[in-house]
Structures are given as structure tokens and as C-alpha cells.
A and B are shown apart, each in its own frame.
Chain A
Amino acid sequence: EAAVTQSPRNKVTVTGGNVTLSCRQTNSHNYMYWYRQDTGHGLRLIHYSYGAGNLQIGDVPDGYKATRTTQEDFFLLLELASPSQTSLYFCASSGTGEGGDTQYFGPGTRLLVL
């Protein structure tokens, strides 16, 4: 069974605060993704990576940095959090080629920026 874990599950911070969201996958997948989920928008891709040290920009990258330290670990960084970044964040992993169509998602991190 594919496994993606995220921490923390819930986070509250203040405007201007510094937040790091963590994701680990044990699927031996090359690709990892960060999405945000907002009502009316579905899931939107923030950043993704196809291996350790690699980072690619997604569709809504402004205000976010990411880092892939190992094949297993992918981090999302909000260095100056704003209320507009209040959202539910999902990490996912997948294989390559047609394997990329099946993404395995973590349980999500709910972030509130006051």
C-alpha cells in the first residue's frame, strides 16, 4: 500500500509568520507534489519535484518555496505567511509516465493564518 504522510496535520500562525509543512513518501516514487485545496477551486498545484534536489514551479507558486531533500522528503515553506494562504494543503507522490496519472495523497495539513 502506497503511503504518504504529512505533518503537522493542523497549524495556526500569524501574518508574517514562518511555516514549514513536511511530507514523506515511502512509495519509492520519483515525483512529489504540493497542492492547495480551496472551496470553488479544487486542487491547485503549487510546486512539484521529480527527484532529490529538483524543484519545479506549479500553477500557483507565489509566496511558496519548496525543497526536496531526499527521494522521500518534500517540504513546503511559507516564509511570510499571509491570510490568503489559509488553506488545506496536500502532498502527493507518483511514478513516472502513465504511473504519474495515479497520484497517492497524504491526509492533508490544514493551515490557518491569522
Chain B
Amino acid sequence: AQSVTQPDARVTVSEGASLQLRCKYSYFGTPYLFWYVQYPRQGLQLLLKYYPGDPVVQGVNGFEAEFSKSNSSFHLRKASVHWSDWAVYFCAVRVLSGSFNKLTFGAGTRLAVCP
């Protein structure tokens, strides 16, 4: 099945430390991949998206992600975490269902930031 897996349900980092959130995909062909973020008591919003091309994509608020075909991965990174990054992060893949492109989301990784 075409899907994404986020192996870490919860990650805790110190403010100012670097961050990597893991995402592994299962997809036949070249996937279109996304990271969405859900801040407390809000809906999800798009953080960044990968369309086939440059494997490193930049998002908002200093986030970036790197696509790796050999590792089937699309990990999210940030050089220095801020307390406002406390949120749940979802990886997603575009899946063709009939004639409809839908997004299939991972289970999410809850990020906690310590002072």
C-alpha cells in the first residue's frame, strides 16, 4: 500500500537544539510528499512540499526536508528549535485514488520543546 510511516510518536528537544523528525514512505514510483504542522487547538497547515526535483526543499519558519529515494525517506529538519515549534507534525504522500489525488497522512509526531 502507498503510505507514510512516522516511527516516532513523540520527540522532545531543548530550545535551540537541532531537530529531525523522521518519515518513511512506501510508494511505487516517485512520490509527491508533504509536511503539515498542527499547532495546539488549531487545524493543520502546510509546512512544505516536495515535487520531483531538488531533493532538499525549504519551508516556512526555518524548516527544511530532504527526499531520499534510496532510503525511502523524507525527514524534516530544523537547525535551531524555538518554543513556538511545539506542535504535532504530519508527513503525507499524494496517492492517486481513481481519478482523484488524495493525501494520505502518517500518524504524526508530537514535538515537545524544553526550555
The answer to whether A107 touches B106, judged by C-beta atoms less than 8 angstroms apart, is no
Q: How many residues of A contact B (CB 8 A)?
A: 22
- Whether B63 is near chain A, meaning CB under 8 Å from some CB there, is no
Whether B46 lies near A102 (C-beta < 8 A) is yes
Q: In this assembly, does B84 line the interface, its C-beta being within 8 Å of a C-beta of chain A?
A: no
| Structural contact, A43 and B46, CB atoms closer than 8 A | no
In angstroms, how far is the closest chain B Cβ from the Cβ of A4? 7
Do A42 and B46 contact each other (CB < 8 Å), given the known contacts A100-B101, A101-B34? no
Quick one: given A101-B34, A101-B94, are A41 and B45 in contact (CB under 8 Å)?
no
Which of A41, A58, A92, A107 interacts with B42 by CB under 8 Å? Answer: A107
In this complex, how many residues of chain B approach chain A with their Cβ under 8 Å: the count is 22
In the complex, B43 has a CB within 8 A of chain A: yes
Residues of A within 8 A of B100 (CB): 48, 56
Question: Are B107's CB and A41's CB within 8 A?
Answer: yes
Residues of A within 8 A of B103 (CB): 101, 103
**B90–A103 contact, CB under 8 A?**
no
Q: By the criterion CB–CB under 8 Å, are B49 and A101 in contact?
A: yes
For A102, give the chain B residue with the smallest CB separation: B46
B27 within 8 A of A: no
Residues of A within 8 A of B106 (CB): 42
A87-114 near B? 1/0 per residue, CB < 8 Å: 0001010000010111111111000000
Residues of B within 8 A of A (CB): 6, 9, 32, 34, 41-46, 49, 51, 90, 94, 100-103, 105-108
Which residues of A approach B to under 8 Å, CB–CB?
4, 40-45, 48, 56, 58, 90, 92, 98, 100-108
Interface pairs (28), CB distance under 8 Å: A40-B9, A40-B107, A41-B107, A42-B90, A42-B105, A43-B44, A43-B105, A45-B102, A48-B102, A58-B102, A90-B43, A90-B44, A92-B43, A92-B44, A100-B101, A101-B34, A101-B46, A101-B94, A101-B103, A102-B46, A102-B49, A103-B103, A104-B43, A104-B45, A105-B43, A107-B41, A107-B43, A108-B42
